[in-house]
Structure 1
Amino acid sequence: MTARQPRLHRYWIQLPEDVLRARGLCGGCGVTAYDLDDARRILQAQLFKETPLPTFTHVTEDVDVTTLDAGHVLPNMGVCSWRGIWYPLGCGP
């Protein structure tokens, strides 16, 4: 019998406008994780190292990335099938 791999989920996480502006983000953050708590840990460790993790204003689990901003998010995102931050580009896989 083989062990089952945990399923990854693509999250689109929206943050308060002041946080988005301060970090130069368009609309939110994209992160692939095992669950929302895992996504929070990844964001804290990689994107919000020096500051507390802000409150999320909205979370979309298993987001269809084709629905995200085609002019900014899609051309500037990393690999969304790997665990980690895929938007903004350069913060994850």
Structure 2
Amino acid sequence: MGKSSEHFFYVLQCSDGSYYGGYTTDVVRREKEHNAGIRCKYTKTRRPVKMIHFEKFTTRSEATKAESYFKHLTRRAKEVYLAKEEKE
């Protein structure tokens, strides 16, 4: 099993309107896992979830730094971040 050369930071919108940010090497698979209740306590009780944003990085470190940055934002700052990314 080789290492993936694609690393993603992604954002889900949960059924309660909250956001969940995470890291993965496969955004399609990961969204399916969240909706199946696999490997995430936070989204398990907030299904269904919808992938609303993702960014591709060349290294895991870059992607997890983006995830950490997003997770420390306020709700309002997350909304601004997502709106800005939509426009670009």
TM more than 0.5? no
TM range (shorter): 0.3 to 0.5
TM norm structure 2: 0.43
TM norm structure 1: 0.41
